[in-house]
Structure 1
């Protein structure tokens, strides 16, 4: 069922020329994403779902590429981004089980689904200080408004996300204090003693070069 069928307005992607428009396509944004992913899977329910259902251990680069393509669609894809949001919700309908604290979970439960999205804002805000330039107060507020728009594209209701920055930080720190833990998936992501295969995506020449240089590149990475 579409929004037209229910009478609800279609979600509107973030505007061209906005803060997200310039950040999401920046190559430096690739350095920001692992922090958001780690925050996400440190949530007991999200970590349990990724541990049981994700292929990130057997296909890490493929999983990463699909996540990045999805993110690009939310920001730049227009109607294709809205359709991608619907696809993701459908994909997550069957993801459920028991979290790391023995509680039943469902991937689309508002607290879980909203947390995955919410992590993007503080990571963008923090990382731009070091990788791009600090955001002004106006830019920070614009970024949050645009991130809420992306949340709507993903099917997150306004009632499930703080609607202002002033509301966001107490919510964020409460989740950090009450829910976040070092899950099995976090252990996998931060481990430095486990083999990581060289990237298997991209042009053949680039793949061959990375394969040759991987023993040198991996330790600092």
Structure 2
């Protein structure tokens, strides 16, 4: 069965909890622990959310079952922490199954009338794959270059991460090379879903200003911030996503983005001297603290 056929099947496939209980967990010495909770991951927020919602079934699921159009920031704040806790908590199986169970009733139809279900293995794995890509891409672009062996290790760790959710892995790539082929194939299926067109509106029109600030003044004040987001956030996006979202890009912007990324990698030793509370998200910080591990000394390359 192909990935597209699997998605169209729209049948949830949950792994029994007694099996999930036997799933190994990731440890504080893993590369996923080291890099996923790094605060520099925020630079990949648009890539993560964007690639995820450019697949029609997932974009429609968000449109049908979330409050993205009325409470965009609130939705992000509610969905992110449980996934972080699936990696960093002392009970990752509980949090993984909690994330899964949030999606039990998320189902509907897309534009051609075919069905979707959030716990269909192919659709659920795609959502997970965008997090795997975030760890790989953000680390290699903004933190430090990863070796081929490290990329393969992160992918192998991502399979353990996925098991924690308790959803069938029937079409999960088995090697890093297969993951890259899978990723490229999924990029070619991108469409301009209503969800992603809305979510990238600030990149085309500028960041909305507070109501108490007059619009002419806000245009002046927001100019540097808009320039940053249109360079850095758009720069992280795959070309297929820029195309479907009609986001401007050119060689000049690419050179600016490359300079910024190179500066961030150059500054990595400085970042690694920051206090842990500044370098890591609260969930990652709590996880490392509970394990008695200082991640700043691990995997520095």
Structure 1-normalised TM-score?
0.81
Report how far residue 130 of structure 1 moved: 2.2
1:74–1:85 contact (8 Å) kept in structure 2:
yes
For the structure 1 residues 33 and 150, does the alpha-carbon distance in structure 2 shift closer, same or farther, using more than 3 Å as the test? farther
2:103 is matched with 92
For the structure 1 residues 174 and 112, does the alpha-carbon distance in structure 2 shift closer, same or farther, using more than 3 Å as the test? same
Secondary structure at 1:161 match in 2: coil
Secondary structure at 2:179 match in 1: helix
Higher radius of gyration, 1 or 2? 2
For the structure 1 residues 62 and 218, does the alpha-carbon distance in structure 2 shift closer, same or farther, using more than 3 Å as the test? farther
**1:44 to 2:44 alignment:** no
What CA distance in whole angstroms lies between the structure 1 residues aligned with 2:175 and 2:72?
A: 35
**1:3 to 2:47 alignment:** no
Report how far residue 101 of structure 1 moved: 3.4
* CA RMSD across the alignment: 2.5
CA deviation profile, 1:153-176 (whole Å, cap 9, x unmatched): 112333231121122122222222
**1:183 to 2:193 alignment:** yes
1:45–1:100 contact (8 Å) kept in structure 2:
no
What CA distance in whole angstroms lies between the structure 2 residues aligned with 1:17 and 1:176?
A: 31
Report how far residue 12 of structure 1 moved: 2.2
What CA distance in whole angstroms lies between the structure 1 residues aligned with 2:51 and 2:129?
A: 10
Single out whichever of 148-157 and 107-116 deviates more from structure 2. 148-157
Gaps of 5+ in 2: 1-14, 211-217, 230-301
For the structure 1 residues 95 and 135, does the alpha-carbon distance in structure 2 shift closer, same or farther, using more than 3 Å as the test? same
1:21–1:75 contact (8 Å) kept in structure 2:
yes
In the alignment of these two chains, the number of paired residues is: 203
2:118–2:124 contact (8 Å) kept in structure 1:
yes
**1:138 to 2:138 alignment:** no
For the structure 1 residues 101 and 37, does the alpha-carbon distance in structure 2 shift closer, same or farther, using more than 3 Å as the test? farther
- For residue 18 of structure 1, the aligned residue among 22, 25, 30 is 30
For the structure 1 residues 91 and 136, does the alpha-carbon distance in structure 2 shift closer, same or farther, using more than 3 Å as the test? same
Structure 2-normalised TM-score?
0.61
CA deviation profile, 1:66-92 (whole Å, cap 9, x unmatched): 22212220211131x211221222221
Secondary structure at 1:160 match in 2: coil
For the structure 1 residues 105 and 2, does the alpha-carbon distance in structure 2 shift closer, same or farther, using more than 3 Å as the test? closer
Single out whichever of 9-18 and 159-168 deviates more from structure 2. 9-18
What CA distance in whole angstroms lies between the structure 1 residues aligned with 2:100 and 2:21?
A: 18
